[in-house]
Amino acid sequence: MNINMFQAGDNVLHAKKEQWAVEPRPVEELPLPANFFWGAATAAYQIEGGASQDGKGKSIWDTFSHLEPSRTNGENADVACDHYNRMLEDLDLMASYDVDVYRFSIAWSRVIPLGGRNDPINEKGIAFYNRLIDGLLARNIKPIVTLYHWDVPQELYDRYGAFLNTVEFKADFENFAKLCFSSFGDRVKNWVTFNEPYIISIFGHHSGVLAPGHSAATGYDSRTEPWRVGHTIILSHAAVVDLYAREFRPSQNGIISIVLNGHFYEPWDAASEEHKAAAQRRLEFYIGWFADPIFLGQNYPAQMRAQLGYRLPEFTTEEMSLLRKTAPFNAFYGMNHYSTKFARALPDPPAEDDCTGNVEELAVNKEGEYLGPVSGMSWLRVAPDGFRKLMNWVWDRYHLPIIITENGCPCPGESQMTLDQAVNDTFRVRYFGLYLDAISRAIYEDGIDVQGYCAWSLMDNFEWSAGYGPRYGITHVSYETLVRTPKKSAFYLEQSFKARRSGF
């Protein structure tokens, strides 16, 4: 593989030649349970298009992707994959892959254009998702529906700062959720409240690289905003779980939870207790931040409180009661996972706006060794052992069934490939194969209850601040013609799951 440079924060490491091993690790096609389900995942803003069609209102991503100078590589998702108008074609595409489930999100501003609890409902938006859900069920595909995948209505930021006002946001999110449960819950039995609250909080309100773009550089308080946003998300999730348990689950018989993302972290120096502790601390700052209150009904991790002090909000007695009440109603742990990193304890005291636990994330360890080959994104390396370790970490701490709600990668150089080259995505095939082997080992060797897997993504799409550069899809999309072309990885997943689940 090529010599390259890996950038982490402000440090540039001149790396040795990357090595996987003398011989690449083979994919073993290890077995999976007969009832293990698989499918693909998308997000509304990334694929739907129809930005103002049929009464849809603006989301913060409609605003963010049109800023000047551009924060999204000069591109936007006004059209994206045009899924809003090509939904039937995409349903047939999924059916041809023989998927069991499809995880998608509902665009809040498509069903309530202004977002608020006293604002008008857009019946054409409701009708679109009804057609989608009915089309899935007609093809024997079960929907997994995410209520919030990063696209809060812009009006709610304009009115009261959205997540920065816990009381107002929670009330509006409950109203939105109730509308969705009432409209779709007779057919949807698997619900997700929020996708990746860490990204919403940190990338949207600390570094500012994602909508709404809040950071110290843009005039916002990056010391406190991320933690206020996270606090709002936790309490809004709990309120909606409580709402569903009280008003809808008895008649609809569905389940609900949240999706958390996270790398696994290996110590930068495996012989050092300091760096071992840093790896654990990084997992708590990344995952425990949300998972401890939501799944355990506990306060924030002690290490977060010790470092952050006043910056981390306090739960009131009533809020803690709500968390304890709703913790048992979270039916699964939704895991978005892509890669593993090394965690190095920083020698100096943390910066005033530090959000990592005073840990540096690296692609290479003290010995100059990489975790695995780099994909089409510099931060995403093939590291199935870390995936297995993360499943163990989550299982040991929360003991909930795990659903892999996102996993995948772009191939190196894929965005510059011809169509013929891009559909022959052998790098992605091998990535999927190794990560599915890791799931098999987690189930049969480690005793972890992993129930299903959603590949990211069903199709190439608008990749947030990177625009249309990275291609994660198992389906190639021509952004000029919008023609969909299955990649080798789509057929691999179909055949691999058929083989892995046979004989059980």
**Is 28 known to be catalytic?**
no
Nearest in space to 465 (alpha carbons), one of 185, 150, 81, 10: 150
Q: Are the beta carbons of 284 and 304 closer than 8 angstroms?
A: yes
196 noted as active-site residue: yes
| Complete DSSP assignment for 69-122 | S-SSTT---SSTT-HHHHHHHHHHHHHHTT-SEEEEE--HHHHSTT-STTSPP-
Alpha helices in 381-487 (DSSP H): 384-398, 419-423, 426-444
Tell me how far apart the alpha carbons of residues 64 and 204 are, in angstroms, rounded to a whole number.
Answer: 11
* Active-site residue, from 319, 406, 414, 463: 406
> Residue 64: what are its φ and ψ, rounded to 5°?
-60, -40
**CA atoms within a 13 Å half-sphere pointing along the CA-CB vector of 256:** 27
Of 155, 168, 196, 360, which one is the catalytic site residue? 196
CA dist 443 and 440 (Å) reads: 5
Which residue pairs from 8-13 have beta carbons closer than 8 angstroms and sit at least 24 positions apart in sequence?
8/360, 8/361, 8/362, 8/363, 9/360, 9/361, 11/360, 13/362, 13/363, 13/364
309 DSSP assignment:
G
Closest CA to 191 of 236, 127, 256, 269: 256
Active site (catalytic) residues? 196, 406
